[in-house]
Structure 1
Amino acid sequence: MGMDPWSPFREVMADPLQWARSWKDRTGGKVIGHLLPDVPEEMIHAAGALPLALEGARVTASKAQASLPGYTCSHAMGLLEMGLAGQLDFLDGLIIPYVCDTTRNLYHTWSHTFPQSRHEFLRLPKRLYHPSAREYLRAELDRFGEALGRMTGRYPSLENITLSLSVYQKSRSRLRKAYALHRERPSIWTWERVNLLMASAMKAPREEHLSWMEKLPWEIDQGRKPNGRVPVYVRGKIWDPPGILEMMDELGLLVVGEEMVCGFRSIAGDYGQGDPLEALVSRLISLPLYPGYHDEPGRIVQSFLDRVQESGAKGVIFLNPKFCEAAGFDLPDLQKALEKEKIPALVLETSTRGVSPAQIRVRLEAFREMIGEDLL
């Protein structure tokens, strides 16, 4: 009996930090950790290092609460907790992107707490549609490349970035196919499995990850069609609490669109024309706006509504991290627009601090019954 083709991905996700630490010990390679979203992994790859996406949302905080305000979201609180616990001491560098006030405060706290560590603040533009945003982002990526060179000892040259773009384009193309197969054959390509692929891609070497994906059952005629499943659209940051992916599969919810930074948003967008840095700029600017970015309120609402309607979803689920002000800013306007279009919505507040997975399951089940009455 052959090896389960899904096992390499499960091994990575069983303990991503230990897997990366072991990879470093085995290969002698560099590991650069980064907080989500929108850190250009391609540039870290081009600098000869393994990009390791870090998620603090599922970490129970104890020490970190003495350094950050209690109203800090679990993503930031959890990252600092991992640092204080020594779990990130094997990293050769850490990248914290500027996407909200919390990540900015986290960077300054990290600098104060770990002054000897190598860390960098990626100053992403807040207004991506501003006329000067492209020029600014290009200059920031130039600066970011110099910082990576200091961390890894290898500057990410344009030639190496071009090679990295090719690897990442192949990876994202394959992951998009997995995403499409979930809609067509969810009994084999479950939502838990598809997100296992996407999450592990942000924690393992892309070339190795690509070779693992080649061994998966890509034949399109496998599995049952999604009869009786209710199509939903999900907006949030990461899949939290633990087990929510399996909940959706078990409850017959078919995710036909989502905006998670560790989900489809991580594989969306194509590279533009021009040199590799310009190509990276084009992709980053083309992505659906993360809640921490700014735009005209009307355009934010309409673009979101267009994505929901194009997906064919019968309902929308908001997974809002507790204490995330950015996620809450747009919520009333988005809810009002959905209500006007008679699209049901469910808002779930997620956190490792005081949120019950069992309660979330009950609410998801009730929502599924409400929007899927005609399928019963």
Structure 2
Amino acid sequence: MTGVRRQSILDDFAEHYPLRVARASKRAGQGTAVVGFVGADVPRELIAAAGALPLRLHSQTGPSSDEAVQLLGEATDHAAHSILTQILAKELDFLSGIMISRDCEASLQLFYVLRELAARRPGMPPVHLIDLLHLSRESTALYNRRQVAACAETLSQWTGASPDPASLAASVASFQVLRGHLASVQSLRQSGLLSGTAGLHVAAAAESLPPSEAAQWVAELVGTFSATATGGDSALRLFFFGSAQDQDVLYRAIEDLGVRIIGEDHDWGLLAAPAPVAVTAGASYEELLARLAESYHYRSPAAAISPLAVHARWGADQAVSCGAEAVFCLTRRFDDAPAWDYPKLAEYLQDRGIPSVLLSRQPFEPEPAVLRESLEPLLSTVSPGRR
């Protein structure tokens, strides 16, 4: 019965995955404020503390609108085009506002376009940029605290509820619990008990549901496994490095080739995350904001915001920690930063005896034949004849 229950929960996560926006819209219709956000640097804790549901906006399958491409320019990552397409089609009008972080150039371009559109087209959700930096300097920490404080002030204007020490502390604690359960899910993936695709589904639920609700759901999934559960299959254990995947199309295509994705470097997965928030009992509101800013300041390194060697070494260390047999780096068109880091990544991996390949400048849905051809050297290198 446990296996049946586990599969039922996994099916529920898979069902929720394409319905994230629709279900958030339904909550908005029932009176819940929903704040959309773009990028890994937006503090979800603040959105929840302001009484709103944090909804991470994501791309959709299918072509972007001509208007979205024209406004952003063709040389922009597909995810930004797709999100703008949804906004222009009024599919996200239920949002109380949209928070955008400067985690990459595509996010920044999206903010500039939305700011202009909001000034010219009545009825569009308001937009705010949170510009966190990631240098190890005290001046950067001070700048980030001011950015987070401005974010909190904007959220209070959007939702009519100002975060305070109690609500912010409760929100931080709720997200800490959720991230603990997500770490357990990642451990199950590393043990071969869950697919990479399932990992994406679980991570996305955590970005589209109230944290306490998501934590309960994820904990229920983890609870269907015994503490000593082992298993998995003979599939190649692959670490994915490259463009962020906010849709499961690519993961499903890779795993259909007999590969198991057991980890990734991008922030739509289960490994990349803010640092734990160091909160002391009775902390003031200003101290809580500072600790929250520090958490995102020192989040997991990413290609677009971190020194090349830092991101590459982090990726190599994560691949080793996950027990990866190989690393596959794939980048989309107009998202070249991970490819710039790849040579150094390959060097670190070679020192650890882990083979890797790079497939760069791919469309949103790479051709299956191209994926198969790219992965073939890894399959034959790690285990000759493995298919």
2:273–2:300 CA contact under 8 A, matched in 1: no
Within-5 A mapping of 1:72-221: 72-115=76-119, 116=122, 117-125=125-133, 127-186=134-193, 189-216=194-221, 217-220=223-226
> Does 1:49 pair with 2:57?
no
Within-5 A mapping of 1:269-288: 269-273=275-279, 275-288=287-300
Q: Structure 2 unaligned segments of length 5 or more: list them.
A: 281-286
Q: Deviations over 1:33-87 (max 9, x none)?
A: 1112221111100000011111126452122112121111112111111111111
- The one-letter code matched in structure 2 to 1:331 is Y
- Say if 1:157 and 1:109 are closer, same or farther in 2 by CA, change over 3 A: same
Shift of 1:99: 1.9
2:200–2:248 CA contact under 8 A, matched in 1: no
- The one-letter code matched in structure 1 to 2:304 is G
1:301–1:333 CA contact under 8 A, matched in 2: yes
SS in 1 for 2:9: coil
Within-5 A mapping of 1:324-339: 324-339=335-350
Q: Structure 1 unaligned segments of length 5 or more: list them.
A: none
TM-score, normalised to structure 1, is 0.87
Shift of 1:175: 1.3
1:313 to 324, 328, 343: 324
Identity of aligned residues (%): 23
- Say if 1:238 and 1:305 are closer, same or farther in 2 by CA, change over 3 A: closer
- Say if 1:132 and 1:151 are closer, same or farther in 2 by CA, change over 3 A: same
- Say if 1:222 and 1:309 are closer, same or farther in 2 by CA, change over 3 A: closer
SS in 2 for 1:215: helix
- The one-letter code matched in structure 2 to 1:289 is P
Shift of 1:21: 0.8
1:12–1:203 CA contact under 8 A, matched in 2: no
- Say if 1:219 and 1:346 are closer, same or farther in 2 by CA, change over 3 A: same
1:158–1:277 CA contact under 8 A, matched in 2: no
1:10–1:196 CA contact under 8 A, matched in 2: yes
2:301 to 289, 311, 315: 289
- Say if 1:243 and 1:65 are closer, same or farther in 2 by CA, change over 3 A: closer
> Does 1:19 pair with 2:38?
no
Within-5 A mapping of 1:194-273: 194-216=199-221, 217-220=223-226, 225-239=231-245, 242-265=248-271, 267=273, 269-273=275-279
Shift of 1:155: 1.4
- Say if 1:304 and 1:109 are closer, same or farther in 2 by CA, change over 3 A: same
SS in 2 for 1:67: helix
- Say if 1:59 and 1:266 are closer, same or farther in 2 by CA, change over 3 A: farther
Shift of 1:235: 1.7
Shift of 1:336: 4.1
Shift of 1:139: 1.6
- Report what 1:360 is aligned to: 371
- Count of residues in Structure 1 that have an aligned counterpart in Structure 2: 371
Q: Deviations over 1:143-194 (max 9, x none)?
A: 11001111111112222110001111111111111111122252xx232222
- Say if 1:303 and 1:106 are closer, same or farther in 2 by CA, change over 3 A: same
SS in 2 for 1:5: helix
- Say if 1:130 and 1:317 are closer, same or farther in 2 by CA, change over 3 A: farther
> Does 1:60 pair with 2:63?
yes
- Say if 1:18 and 1:168 are closer, same or farther in 2 by CA, change over 3 A: same
2:45–2:168 CA contact under 8 A, matched in 1: yes
User: Structure 1 CA distance, aligned partners of 2:272 and 2:315?
Assistant: 17
1:238–1:260 CA contact under 8 A, matched in 2: yes
- The one-letter code matched in structure 2 to 1:290 is A
1:96–1:121 CA contact under 8 A, matched in 2: yes
- Say if 1:193 and 1:151 are closer, same or farther in 2 by CA, change over 3 A: same
SS in 2 for 1:120: strand
